[in-house]
Amino acid sequence: MEIEELCGLGAPVIDDVGSGALAERVPEMADEPRVRRSVAAGCAVTCFSGDKLLGGPQAGLMVGTRDAIERCRKHPLARALRIDKLSLAALEATLRLYRDPAGRSARCRCCACSPRARTSWGPAPSGFAPRWRTEAWTRG
């Protein structure tokens, strides 16, 4: 059942889209569920990751109706699951990149994964990747 059909049944719907794609028109993310689709379908709450495709700090994000989000905020577990101030600042900086689509691919690593954007990176420093990979595997 598609999310639009599910929302049409009348009960509040919580949709966890996993990684969740916010960036539009990025061919490499074509198969990822879109956050906007769930919101437009009428989900009460849409949950998605703050790190994977978004490119921010590790965090779980929720968007939705004012009433549903307010109920989530008042839940007893909300205090234990809230984001810390440093992660919140990093998340805010990441979300600001999404307000500027023209410069986003140059500054956001997740959005820069498309082949078109990678050409603007220039060549990688020689020896950097192999040395990093070696160090990463040898650290305990």
* Domains of the chain and CATH, by start: 3-138 (3.40.640.10)
Give the H or E element holding residue 15: strand 14-16
pTM across the whole model: 0.70
What is the distance between the alpha carbons of residues 49 and 109, in angstroms, rounded to a whole number?
16
pLDDT at residue number 100:
75
What is the distance between the alpha carbons of residues 36 and 59, in angstroms, rounded to a whole number?
18
Per residue, what are the HEC states of 57-106? CCCEEEEECHHHHHHHHHCCCHHHHCCCHHHHHHHHHHHHHCCCHHHHHH
Q: Is the pLDDT assigned to residue 39 strictly greater than 90?
A: yes
Q: What is the pLDDT of residues 2-28, one digit of tens each?
A: 999 999 999 999 999 988 887 777 777
